[in-house]
Structure 1
Amino acid sequence: MKKYMKTTIYLLLVIIAFSCKNNTKKEIKTNVVKGVKSLSAKDILGNPDFLAMSYGGYRNVDHDVEPAIDELKEDMKLLAAMGVKIVRTYKVHLPQATNLLKAISELKDEDPDFEMYVMLGAWIDCKNAWTAMPPDHEQESEANANQILVASYLANQYPDIVKIIAVGNEAMVKWAETYYVQPRVILNWVTHLQDLKKEGKLPEDLWITSSDDFSSWGGGGTEYHTEDLEKLYNAVDYVSMHTYPYHNTHYNPEFWGVPEEEEDLSDLEKIDAAMLRAKEFAMSQYDSVSGYMKSIGVDKPIHIGETGWATTSDGFYGASGSRATDEYKQALYYRHMRDWTNAAGISCFYFEGFDEPWKDSNNPKGSENHFGMINIKSQAKYPIWSLVDEGVFEGLTRNGKPITKTYDGDSDALMQDVMVPPLASETKAPE
């Protein structure tokens, strides 16, 4: 309850500030017109020169500890050094999103050549989400309206930076049992934002989407094939879908286990082959969304709003589970996904830039804490060791520490932690 009250107070303060600055339709329009001319989402998405990354700047186990603007600047410089030029955020009811935009704006003032854009997330919940009361998936949270209001304001305040608003994160997928909503809720807010664009109250080249699991976009079971989903396809500017072969090594492992014809391969060859199958699994989910979209007569861009591979797990994906988790596999998956999506003109918001220890705060070895490319010790993981060698991080720090390599750069030591996937005959989906 204490955390809820803090969030509510923050939102109220932000909304009051917005109301004072934008109390007439004329003022809002003026704000948009004065926006700095820059590239649009249409120019950026699918362009391999604009690598995309999911971003959370929370460095502490305690999620109440907000990253300072200087820390956000530190992270943006590191991501820019990695070639990232567009980052995705998830919610606006906490200070990070607002402060991130301030940080990027200040970096641009300090260096006119600095370039970073934002896919701004507006978090969407059902009624009673994250409370002791049963979630009501037929009604939405009253807080959703404030998320949309704040996101709209920030898009107007920073039209040179905010290029996309994503309405909800995995907000329609039914396994999100604590908070999912019906597609009509997402549709209503997407339509509202599109109407604001038509009325000149949002930048006309701002793109609106929702970022959700491939199944929510019709790529899975037919229970998702609804009239409201078809309307949502027609309402968004593009589709932002998630795909996670990593999680499916436990939940849908048919692709993961070593097949009989590969049992005589070396351990490394078995791992390499499994990671190629992981890429093909992601591609098949992308194709399933594309196929459904075409079946309803819609033709819009599809980009990957989230995908990634964790490097530590003591649970489903670790040594006693699917054996999917280590830095070598993360490096292969990262390379495969970048190679495929860059060649295909697909943006891939890879999850994620930095480890976030708050996500499974009671279990330091929980996989959700370890999807980042840089860990909390300011060490670059194996996928980007080459960037350390190239010197792209020279002069840059995180938490005051220079960026070094995990395992002290010892690849032999790293490979000792690499696990071979189980045989196909040993894998089975959970009941």
Structure 2
Amino acid sequence: MDTFHKLGIIPGKALCYSGFREGQKPGGVYPGYEEVKEDLLLLKDHWKYLRLFDCDEHTRTVLDVITREKLDFRIMLGAYIVAEMNNFNCPWNGGVYSEEQLTENRKSNIDKIDKLIELGNQYPGIIFSLSVGNEACVEWTDHYVPESSVLEYVSRVKAKAKQPVTFCENYAPWILKLEKLAAGVDFISIHTYPVWEYKHINESLDYSKQNYYSVAGKYPDKPVVITEAGWATNSNGRGINPWHVNEEFQMIYFEKLMEWVEKENILAFFFEAFDESWKGSSEPLEPEKHWGLFRSDRTPKMAVRKLIQQE
């Protein structure tokens, strides 16, 4: 716990937030000011920390709303870096690019890292940490970036911004191969998804604990944050057994996880605030679309219904 306090981080209620609604998506139509304001007013009494995934128009709107409406949020801001190497292990139609595209991606990534630094410096009272990427080193990713490049980005941000720097990744690479990166970041950020690994709800919390403690045990002198942990509420069978997902199971996992991390003083971002229909395939039951604690129309699912109705 002392290491967290040295970084200026006090564990509290934390949530991944992406506000894209029906008909909106990154690179297309972005949520407007009033839409983001509606979201943040819905979340403000229940969560202190929000995680944002990229330095895009959406993030700038979120920071603008927090500033102008004087909302008490603290933000973990990420830069979404894209592929700098081909990954032939990617199990879906992705991960392989032309050399020209990879060169362009590298330039784009440097621009994103510089935007991350710029926003960190512009909003030092709101942004409490900076992440140089998301799931870019795991074996199945479609946007593979070598550890050496990620380390370069860590150094670049550390030299020009004051916030603690991290990298958000599935728990497994931290155990298997990211020792140099672990040494370079200020704290380690892991993702744990029992349902993606075919675990039943009865095994869920124990499995997430195992994921967390395996990384924390490997790096005893480095703080470990859970930057994603969640439970889907629908599946078309792609990667997740449909019988393993529903609102009741999400509620069970959410409540058990929050009870554990609060007891152990672990900062854990639940994934995620709202369902996002733009994600994944066009199939309505695609699991990528159904991780929200709220539906895309902002009505609460079972896990947070009592919380919202108490207002």
Structure 2: which 5+ residue stretches go unaligned?
Answer: 87-93
Deviation string, structure 1 residues 95-153 (Cα, Å, up to 9, x no partner):
10111111110111xxxxx3101100111122377797357999762211111111111
Deviation string, structure 1 residues 10-52 (Cα, Å, up to 9, x no partner):
xxxxxxxxxxxxxxxxxxxxxxxxxxxxxx893434x2xx311
The equivalent residue for 1:314 is: 236
- 1:25-424 aligned at under 5 Å gives the runs 42-45=7-10, 47=11, 50-63=12-25, 64-81=28-45, 83-92=46-55, 94-108=56-70, 114-127=71-84, 133-134=97-98, 141-176=106-141, 178-196=142-160, 202-203=161-162, 206-218=163-175, 224-225=176-177, 229-249=178-198, 256=199, 274-294=200-220, 299-316=221-238, 321=241, 323-360=243-280, 362-390=282-310, 392=311
Q: How many Å separate the matches in 1 of 2:268 and 2:43?
A: 15
TM-score normalised by the chain length of structure 2: 0.89
Deviation at 1:283, TM superposition (A): 0.6
Deviation string, structure 1 residues 150-174 (Cα, Å, up to 9, x no partner):
1111111111111111010001111
Opposite residue 51 of structure 2, the aligned amino acid is: R
Q: What's the RMSD between the two structures over aligned residues?
A: 2.4
Q: How many Å separate the matches in 1 of 2:281 and 2:29?
A: 13
User: What percent identity do the matched residue pairs reach?
Assistant: 30
Q: Residues 339 and 131 of structure 1: is their aligned pair in 2 closer, same or farther, counting only changes over 3 Å? A: closer
Q: Secondary structure at the match of 2:130?
A: strand
Note if contact 1:327-1:383 (Cα within 8 Å) is conserved in structure 2: yes
Deviation at 1:322, TM superposition (A): 5.4
Deviation string, structure 1 residues 307-330 (Cα, Å, up to 9, x no partner):
101111122466xx3511100000
Q: Secondary structure at the match of 1:127?
A: coil
Note if contact 1:355-1:372 (Cα within 8 Å) is conserved in structure 2: yes
The equivalent residue for 2:91 is: none
Note if contact 1:124-1:169 (Cα within 8 Å) is conserved in structure 2: yes
Q: How many Å separate the matches in 2 of 1:282 and 1:358?
A: 27
**Matched residues, number:** 298
Structure 1: which 5+ residue stretches go unaligned?
Answer: 1-39, 109-113, 197-201, 219-223, 250-255, 257-273, 393-431
Opposite residue 189 of structure 1, the aligned amino acid is: Y
Q: Secondary structure at the match of 1:358?
A: coil
Q: Residues 300 and 136 of structure 1: is their aligned pair in 2 closer, same or farther, counting only changes over 3 Å? A: farther
Q: How many Å separate the matches in 2 of 1:71 and 1:356?
A: 14
Q: How many Å separate the matches in 1 of 2:252 and 2:99?
A: 39
Opposite residue 49 of structure 2, the aligned amino acid is: I
Deviation at 1:62, TM superposition (A): 4.1
Q: Secondary structure at the match of 1:365?
A: coil
Opposite residue 187 of structure 1, the aligned amino acid is: L
Deviation string, structure 1 residues 328-350 (Cα, Å, up to 9, x no partner):
00000000110111111111110
Note if contact 1:303-1:346 (Cα within 8 Å) is conserved in structure 2: yes
Deviation string, structure 1 residues 60-114 (Cα, Å, up to 9, x no partner):
2441110001111111111113x1111111111x310111111110111xxxxx3
Deviation at 1:360, TM superposition (A): 2.6
Opposite residue 70 of structure 1, the aligned amino acid is: E
Q: Residues 68 and 146 of structure 1: is their aligned pair in 2 closer, same or farther, counting only changes over 3 Å? A: same
Note if contact 1:59-1:357 (Cα within 8 Å) is conserved in structure 2: yes
Opposite residue 148 of structure 2, the aligned amino acid is: R
Note if contact 1:341-1:348 (Cα within 8 Å) is conserved in structure 2: yes
Moved over 4 A (4+): 128-132, 134-140
Q: How many Å separate the matches in 1 of 2:262 and 2:15?
A: 13
Q: How many Å separate the matches in 2 of 1:234 and 1:170?
A: 18
Deviation at 1:287, TM superposition (A): 1.4
Q: How many Å separate the matches in 1 of 2:99 and 2:256?
A: 38
Q: Residues 214 and 300 of structure 1: is their aligned pair in 2 closer, same or farther, counting only changes over 3 Å? A: same
Q: How many Å separate the matches in 2 of 1:231 and 1:188?
A: 11
Deviation at 1:237, TM superposition (A): 1.0
Deviation at 1:183, TM superposition (A): 0.8
Opposite residue 209 of structure 2, the aligned amino acid is: M
Q: How many Å separate the matches in 1 of 2:218 and 2:82?
A: 26
Q: Residues 194 and 315 of structure 1: is their aligned pair in 2 closer, same or farther, counting only changes over 3 Å? A: same
TM-score normalised by the chain length of structure 1: 0.65
Q: How many Å separate the matches in 2 of 1:286 and 1:132?
A: 31
Q: Residues 238 and 128 of structure 1: is their aligned pair in 2 closer, same or farther, counting only changes over 3 Å? A: closer
Deviation at 1:305, TM superposition (A): 0.7
Q: How many Å separate the matches in 2 of 1:147 and 1:329?
A: 37
User: Greater CA radius of gyration, 1 or 2?
Assistant: 1
